A and B are shown apart, each in its own frame.
Chain A
């Protein structure tokens, strides 16, 4: 069975500091993708970053990077130099080779403190 676990319901970070949001996954698929989405208070879902299971390098997109540790089945999101606009819910998701479905974690609420 496919499963995504986010164990941090809420996180706080000081502005300009870095923060790591945890995500672990479980899958029997050999090929899969890992995604992070941001949901601000306005409600839309915004795609942030993608990591393929066969990618050897960790993905980066601007201030976002994905710390991918395949053996530990973890895909943590690192946000560097936090900004007030980073305050939002963050969801980790996985898409397997089987069925093409996406599986989501329960999310982490991040609050950036000025």
Chain B
């Protein structure tokens, strides 16, 4: 049981380049999400999904695309990287709940630098 995996762990991009951050989970969780973590700002939600084929925007979606073709995978695409997207990115997953219960499980994070 690998939990939530993310690749790559580190990435350096030039302004204007595109790339995809990969995320996969093997716990059959319906809910998956992407966050970015910046100093002093906690974790901010970029996009999330409540099941295959269903995605929605979070607090800071601009410059990012997602898709959810399977339950297991939830890739995050940076369309045209900007220095403001330099951050640590976390993918997380959990069961859906009607009561607010069930914690998220986090991947190890991707440290992205945009020059």
Residues of A within 8 A of B (CB): 6, 9, 29, 31-33, 35, 37, 43-45, 47, 50, 52-54, 91, 93-97, 100-107
Q: Is the CB of B42 within 8 A of A45?
A: no
Is the CB of B61 closer than 8 A to any CB of chain A?
no
Least CB distance from B42 to A in Å reads 4
When distances are taken between beta carbons in the complex, the residues of chain B under 8 Å from A53 are 100
Q: Is the CB of B100 within 8 A of A33?
A: yes
Q: Is the CB of B41 within 8 A of A52?
A: no
Say which residue of A43, A50, A91, A107 sits within 8 Å of B103 (CB atoms). A50
Residues of B within 8 A of A (CB): 31, 33, 35, 40-45, 48, 50, 58, 88, 90, 92, 96-106, 108-109
Q: Is the CB of B42 within 8 A of A44?
A: no
Q: Across the A-B interface, how many residue pairs have beta carbons closer than 8 Å?
A: 70
Least CB distance from A61 to B in Å reads 12
User: Known: A91-B43, A100-B96. Contact between A44 and B101, CB under 8 A?
Assistant: no
B58 (CB) vs chain A CBs: closest residue: A101
A46 (CB) vs chain B CBs: closest residue: B106
When distances are taken between beta carbons in the complex, the residues of chain A under 8 Å from B105 are 47
How many angstroms from the CA of A31 to the CA of B102 in the assembled complex? 13
B88 (CB) vs chain A CBs: closest residue: A43
When distances are taken between beta carbons in the complex, the residues of chain A under 8 Å from B109 are 43-45
How many angstroms from the CA of A50 to the CA of B94 in the assembled complex? 14
How many angstroms from the CA of A27 to the CA of B65 in the assembled complex? 28
Q: Is the CB of A97 within 8 A of B99?
A: yes
25 A–B contacts from the bound complex (CB under 8 Å): A31-B99, A33-B97, A33-B99, A33-B102, A35-B103, A37-B106, A45-B92, A47-B105, A50-B101, A52-B99, A52-B100, A52-B101, A91-B43, A95-B101, A97-B99, A100-B31, A100-B48, A102-B33, A102-B45, A102-B104, A103-B45, A104-B42, A104-B44, A106-B40, A107-B42
